[in-house]
Amino acid sequence: MEYNRMLNDHASYLIKQGEKLSYLLRHDKSYAFDEHGWREVSDLEANHGFTVEELREIVATNNKQRFEFSEDMTCIRARQGHSIQVDVELAEATPPDILFHGTTKDAISSIMKQGILKGERLYVHLSTTFDTAIKVGERHGKPAVLVIDAKRMHEEGIRFFLSRNDVWLTDFVDANYLIGVSE
């Protein structure tokens, strides 16, 4: 019983540390990231209380595979989701015919008028599965999922990028490309 509690405590701790790391790698305007969004591991150790072992465990166990190390393991970055200007070397790609966007029920009427905006992030995030989109929406309130005609968007010249953890990214989704809503 004690062992299970310790495992749960450790898992909760890693989630909290992962959230902290996510902020530090995506939104920390006080750090001088390199052009590709890399942050030195030594900075996270010296200034933010992380250990290399902890960072390795967060990278390995993050269910969304949000983070990656440089080849020499001296730097780390988030794969997408930045509000700071960086180029994480995304591959432009042809999307599947349909993509999904998770949001909240409260946001639907606004999205139907103005489309899906990237907000403070560099891109709009889209997923290939309804289930993933639901999970995204649940993080912010009562979930809703928008179905997007990605094929038509792409055919009409809108660029898509695929992150290394299979998140589809684009600059904007006009409401004309929304072909369904599940509330």
Quick check: helix, strand or coil at residue 110?
Answer: helix
Token pair of 4, please?
């299970």
Tell the residue number behind the tokens 């990237």, with chain if given.
118
Which residues, in sequence order, are bridge partners of residue 125? 169
Q: Which structural domains are found in the chain, ordered by start?
A: 2-78 (1.10.10.970), 91-182 (3.20.170.30)
Query: Rounded to two decimals, what is the model's pTM?
Result: 0.79
pLDDT attached to residue 151: 98
State the pLDDT at residue 5.
Answer: 67
Q: Quote the pLDDT of residue 77.
A: 97
Tell me which residues of the chain have a pLDDT lower than 70. 1, 3-7
- Alpha-carbon span 78 to 69, nearest angstrom: 9
Q: How many CA atoms lie within 13 A of 31 on its CB side?
A: 24
Q: Quick one: pLDDT at residue 164?
A: 87
- Predicted confidence at residue 15, as pLDDT, reads 87
Q: Measure the CA–CA gap between 120 and 23, rounded to whole angstroms.
A: 13
Long-range interactions of 154-159: CB distance < 8 A, separation 24+: 154/94, 154/95, 159/92
One-letter amino acid at 13 equals Y
Q: What is the pLDDT of residue 91?
A: 87
Question: For 153, what's the count of Cα atoms within 13 Å in the CB-facing half-sphere?
Answer: 28
